[in-house]
């Protein structure tokens, strides 16, 4: 009988939020591996309904995607059934909520109750381990993979007609403060005066109404920039392929940002803020450019706008980087059966579940995950 996993997430398909895209990839990988998986989306289903349905599903594993948003519910579900809890960490969890005075206790409680805590990059694991040394031995790194769902061609010309010689920078992200959508505008004001062919396109849903209102107000007086809202993820490969540069201005990221990974996979150079999550993929001057301030953003944007051969060289290096990586979904390192820390070590296998009783691990399974030293 295949292992049964209940995956609980704040958002799932058909949402186009980055976390929903990642959850869809994880679900795809687990199902392809033979797991009996069901996903519960808390944006659509009340907690009381989730609790009843998960109990009826009778999983052997509860998988929480996002420690703060769904971790407390997932931990209750795991304790009730006396089964292991696996938590996949987001950038907001590790970079913000873990240190927020109002949220830190919740995130720490979830991490401490989990059998394993999955991060997409070692930098996130190091941040968690520094704050919670007792969790270090249960941290597991599983890098993300770049996979696009099938969705056809995006008709960019119909949404925003542009001159043929334009140089298009695309900013693919949900509009919220942590993504800093307003940051590039002043730099591009000056750049467009020197290079009138430059265009800036924002792609993604408005997640923070105040930030969205501010952005739209700024764009109203800039004909060279536009926000077209959410685009189905299946059409993002087509859209990125019609761009010249992908822009990321985030304050923090969850280890391996989807926007950067997908840009590299499509052969487009990336201009990104110099933060840990972006540095995990962007090598400055090789697959794109990193910037520490607006001055560097403007200078590097001009270099990219002015030199097609530079864009092509960086884009090719980015595509080759992704092609050298495993092509699996972000369950890389999992066996055919599950996404649990079974087989990490004897110590991990023998770890007791949060209720104090031995967890009911599915038999005969082993993982090849890379584990941080305890």
Delineate the domains of the chain, giving CATH numbers in brackets.
Answer: 4-145+328-371 (3.40.50.2000), 156-324 (3.40.50.2000)
Residue 215, C-beta contacts closer than 8 angstroms, at least 6 positions apart: 175, 181, 182, 202, 206, 227
CA 80/CA 77 separation, integer angstroms: 5
> In the chain, pLDDT over 90 holds for what percent of residues?
64
CA 305/CA 294 separation, integer angstroms: 16
CA proximity to 374, closest of 340, 342, 343, 347:
347
Please give the pLDDT value at position 14: 75
Please give the pLDDT value at position 354: 40
Q: What is the CA radius of gyration of the chain?
A: 21
Asked if pLDDT for residue 331 goes beyond 50, the answer is: no
Does residue 253 contact residue 277 with C-beta atoms inside 8 Å? Answer: yes
Give the mean model confidence (pLDDT) for residues 73-101: 92
Q: Cis peptide before 14, with omega less than 30 degrees from 0? A: yes
Residue 193, C-beta contacts closer than 8 angstroms, at least 6 positions apart: none
Q: Could you say which DSSP state residue 98 is in?
A: G
Give the N- to C-terminal CA distance of the chain in Å, as an integer: 33
Concatenated DSSP letters of 316-371: HHHHHHHHHS--S-TTTT--SS-SS-TTS-HHHHTPPPTTSSPP-PPTT-----EE
Give the mean model confidence (pLDDT) for residues 283-288: 95
Please give the pLDDT value at position 148: 67
Instruction: Report the DSSP beta bridge partners of residue 288.
Output: 270, 284
pLDDT tens digit sequence for 230-267: 998 889 899 999 999 999 999 987 667 888 988 999 99
Please give the pLDDT value at position 346: 36
| Mean pLDDT (the chain, rounded) | 85
pLDDT tens digit sequence for 129-188: 999 999 999 999 888 776 666 668 999 999 999 999 999 999 999 999 999 999 999 999
Residue 102 CB coordination number (10 Å): 7
CA proximity to 257, closest of 278, 237, 271:
278
Give the mean model confidence (pLDDT) for residues 95-105: 93
CA 85/CA 281 separation, integer angstroms: 29
Please give the pLDDT value at position 229: 94
């Amino acid at each position: 009988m295949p292992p049964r996993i209940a995956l609980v997430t704040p958002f799932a398909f058909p949402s186009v939020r980055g976390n929903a895209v990642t959850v869809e990839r994880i679900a795809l990988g687990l199902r392809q591996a033979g797991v009996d998986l069901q996903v519960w989306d808390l944006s659509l289903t009340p907690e009381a309904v989730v609790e009843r349905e998960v109990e009826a599903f009778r999983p052997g594993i509860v998988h929480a995607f996002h420690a703060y948003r769904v971790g407390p519910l997932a931990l209750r579900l795991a304790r009730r059934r006396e089964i292991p809890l696996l938590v996949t960490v987001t950038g907001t969890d590790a970079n913000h909520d873990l240190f927020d005075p109002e949220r830190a206790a919740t995130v720490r409680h979830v991490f401490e109750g989990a059998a394993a805590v999955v991060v997409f990059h070692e930098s996130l694991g190091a941040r968690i381990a520094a704050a919670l040394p007792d969790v270090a031995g249960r941290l597991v790194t599983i890098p993300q993979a770049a996979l696009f769902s099938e969705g056809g061609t995006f008709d960019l010309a119909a949404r925003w007609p542009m001159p043929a010689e334009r140089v298009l920078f695309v900013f693919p992200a949900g509009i919220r403060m942590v993504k800093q959508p307003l940051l590039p505008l002043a730099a591009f004001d000056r750049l467009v005066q020197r290079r009138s062919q430059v265009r800036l396109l924002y792609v993604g849903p408005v997640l923070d109404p105040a930030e969205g209102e501010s952005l739209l107000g700024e764009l109203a007086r800039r004909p060279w920039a536009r926000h077209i809202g959410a685009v189905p993820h299946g059409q993002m490969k087509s859209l990125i392929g019609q761009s010249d540069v992908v822009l990321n201005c985030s304050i923090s990221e969850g280890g391996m940002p989807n926007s950067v990974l997908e840009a590299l996979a499509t052969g487009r150079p990336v201009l990104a803020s110099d933060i840990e999550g972006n540095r995990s993929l962007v090598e400055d001057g090789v697959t794109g450019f990193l910037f520490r301030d607006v001055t560097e953003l403007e200078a590097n944007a001009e270099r990219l706008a002015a030199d097609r051969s530079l864009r092509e060289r960086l884009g090719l290096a980015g595509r080759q980087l992704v092609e050298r990586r495993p092509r699996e979904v972000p369950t890389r390192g999992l066996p055919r059966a599950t996404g649990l820390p079974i087989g990490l070590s004897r110590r991990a296998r023998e770890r007791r579940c949060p209720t104090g009783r031995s967890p009911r691990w599915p038999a005969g399974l082993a993982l090849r995950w890379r584990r941080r030293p305890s």
